[in-house]
């Protein structure tokens, strides 16, 4: 039964970009973050922090920068006429989120130290970056799944990286910390449901890249 519950949550966790303004209880938010910090991290350093933005003026600041960047990246380019309907719906919902970001009850910023000391100290920058992201993103995924279990909608976004310096200054986030993900949290206007993905056979490589058949 536990396995069925776990896979049901995984297979029905859709990106939710149309969210209600209804408040989320503090205890629910704490439970979501608590799920996040039970993820593994490199060396178990737990070099992370989670900012829950609720004040209207701060959400408006994020919205204005996010929406402005969305318009630079996407708003001035018409969608291709042959764009599949599913992709067109995705783009419309992403634009809606960008334009209405300040209306969501909570904006969660998942933050992590920029470097992993053990690798950075010996000049292994690639390994350092991989370990930093390999530590914070499992926590983000835990929180996304916790949101689903608690009926809260969210989606992982990274457009904030385009104005990260301004955002960090506004929220007092230290210089040695990066904002790895921005997650708007809110009760969804739509419904959770099955996610559409490629068949697993198309992404598995057995022993060697390109080997699609078990040897």
- Nearest partner of 34 among 184, 175, 137, 139, judged by Cα: 139
Domain boundaries, the chain: 2-75+86-202
pLDDT at 203: 94
Rounded CA-CA distance 155/143 in Å is 10
Class of domain 2-75+86-202: alpha beta
Q: Which residues 6+ apart lie within 8 Å of 1 measured at CB?
A: none
Tens-digit pLDDT profile for residues 94-105: 999 999 999 999
Residue 145: CB atoms within 10 A of its CB come to 17
Query: Tell me, what's the pLDDT at 2?
Result: 56
Q: Which H or E run contains 70?
A: helix 56-70
pLDDT confidence of residue 86? 80
What confidence tier does 1 reach under pLDDT thresholds 50, 70, 90? very low
Whether pTM > 0.75 for this model: the answer is yes
Sign of CA dihedral 136, 183, 191, 33: positive
The 10s digit of each residue's pLDDT in 108-165 is 999 999 999 999 999 999 999 999 999 999 999 999 999 999 999 999 999 999 999 9
């Amino acid at each position: 039964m536990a396995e069925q519950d776990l896979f049901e949550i995984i297979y029905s966790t859709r990106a939710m970009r149309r969210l209600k303004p209804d408040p989320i209880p503090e205890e629910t938010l704490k439970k979501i973050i608590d799920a996040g910090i039970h993820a593994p991290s490199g060396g178990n350093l737990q070099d992370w922090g989670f900012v829950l933005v609720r004040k209207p003026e701060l959400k408006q600041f994020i919205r204005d920068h996010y929406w402005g960047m969305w318009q630079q990246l996407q708003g001035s380019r018409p969608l291709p006429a042959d764009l599949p309907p599913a992709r067109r719906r995705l783009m419309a919902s992403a634009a809606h989120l960008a334009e209405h970001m300040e209306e969501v009850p909570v904006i969660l910023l998942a933050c992590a130290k920029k470097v992993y000391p053990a690798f950075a100290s010996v000049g292994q920058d690639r390994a350092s970056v991989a370990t930093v992201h390999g530590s914070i993103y499992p926590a983000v995924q835990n929180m996304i799944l916790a949101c689903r279990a608690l009926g809260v909608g969210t989606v992982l976004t990274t457009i904030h990286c385009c104005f990260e310096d301004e955002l960090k200054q506004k929220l007092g986030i230290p210089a040695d910390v990066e904002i790895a993900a921005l997650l708007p949290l809110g009760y969804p206007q739509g419904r959770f449901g099955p996610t559409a993905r490629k068949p697993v056979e198309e992404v598995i490589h057995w022993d060697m890249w390109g080997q699609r058949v078990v040897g």
